[in-house]
Amino acid sequence: MTRLLGLTLFLAATLFLINSSVTAQDEPKKGKIEIETLFKKLDANKDGKLTKDEFLKLASNLKNKDKVREMLGMTFDKIDPEMKGVSLEQFRTFIDAKKKEKKPQ
**pLDDT at residue 104, as a whole number:** 60
Given pLDDT bands bounded at 50, 70 and 90, which one contains residue 41?
confident
The C-alpha torsion from 10 through 13 and 18 to 21, rounded to 10°, is -160
19 neighbors 61 (Cβ within 8 angstroms) = yes
Domain total of the chain? 1
Is residue 15 over pLDDT 70?
Answer: no
pTM across the whole model: 0.70
pLDDT at 78: 86
Residue 72's domain spans which residues? 2-102
**Distance (Å, rounded) from C-alpha 104 to C-alpha 86?**
28
Average pLDDT over residues 72-87: 90
The CATH number of the domain where 79 resides is what?
Answer: 1.10.238
Q: What is the pLDDT of residue 47?
A: 96
